[in-house]
């Protein structure tokens, strides 16, 4: 086996190990949340369904996504081949959760993929970080969707557009297909850090 083949196989093995560690962390977190719910008397009570939607245009390619719920990593993947960017919908968490306040932290990395007059974007990387707090009560299910989108309008420079917003719905346990309450849409605070050949700068993504 030559050196190049060894390095490739080693990286593949490291990636598989990281994926196994992530699966173990997820299982441990879900068991802990379920245990807390049962011990608090909220059997079959509060639930959370969290997902991510990529609404970015082809000018931006998603290369890394990290989601942390109450300090526990739920999803962590890095990919430069385009496979991650091709996933427009990614399930993050679905299961029982203790009633009360919770926090979702999101960190995604985008690579500029501009063309024509926007070809300069290829020299930029965009690190978008955000967090969102939500409350769920016993007997309710919260549906939380984190959405990567491009803020502003046609006059907004492309490098200032990456941002994250949230859509939150709350339904009772008796409404598995979705509830009558209208969705509550919020936009959390966040920070977009962009670095490229022409330097680096930061731009806030808005306040909640």
pLDDT in tens, the chain (208 residues): 676 777 778 878 888 888 888 788 777 776 766 666 555 554 457 899 999 999 998 888 999 999 999 999 999 999 988 899 999 999 999 999 999 999 999 999 998 876 555 565 666 888 999 999 999 988 899 999 999 999 988 788 777 889 999 999 988 865 444 444 444 444 444 444 444 333 333 333 433 3
Q: What is the pLDDT of residues 143-171, one digit of tens each?
A: 999 999 999 887 887 778 899 999 999 88
**β 140-150/47-54 pair status:** parallel
Q: What is the pLDDT of residues 48-80, one digit of tens each?
A: 999 999 999 888 899 999 999 999 999 999 998
Q: Are 150 and 162 in contact (CB under 8 A)?
A: yes
Rounded distance, CA 137 to CA 132, Å? Answer: 17
Rounded distance, CA 166 to CA 208, Å? Answer: 10
Specify the pTM: 0.65
What are the Cα distances from residue 2, in Å, to 5, 10, 11, 27, 138? 6, 12, 15, 38, 58
């Amino acid at each position: 086996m030559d050196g190049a083949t060894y390095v490739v196989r080693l990286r593949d093995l490291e990636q598989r190990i990281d994926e196994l560690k992530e699966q173990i962390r997820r299982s441990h977190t879900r068991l802990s949340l379920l245990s807390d719910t049962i011990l608090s008397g909220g059997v079959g009570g509060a639930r959370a369904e969290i997902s991510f939607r990529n609404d970015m245009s082809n000018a931006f390619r998603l290369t890394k996504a990290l989601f942390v719920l109450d300090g526990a990593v739920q999803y962590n993947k890095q990919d430069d081949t385009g496979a991650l960017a091709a996933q427009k919908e990614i399930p993050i968490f679905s299961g029982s959760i203790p009633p009360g306040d919770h926090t979702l932290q999101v960190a995604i990395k985008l690579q500029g993929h501009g063309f024509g007059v926007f070809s300069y974007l290829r020299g930029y990387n965009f690190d978008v970080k955000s967090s969102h707090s939500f409350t769920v009560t016993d007997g309710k299910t919260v549906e939380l969707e984190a959405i990567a989108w491009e803020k502003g309008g046609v006059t907004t420079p492309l490098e200032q557009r990456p941002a994250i917003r949230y859509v939150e719905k709350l339904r009772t346990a008796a409404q598995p297909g979705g509830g009558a309450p209208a969705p509550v849409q919020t936009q959390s605070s966040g920070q977009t850090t962009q670095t490229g050949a022409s330097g680096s700068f930061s731009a806030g993504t808005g306040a909640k």
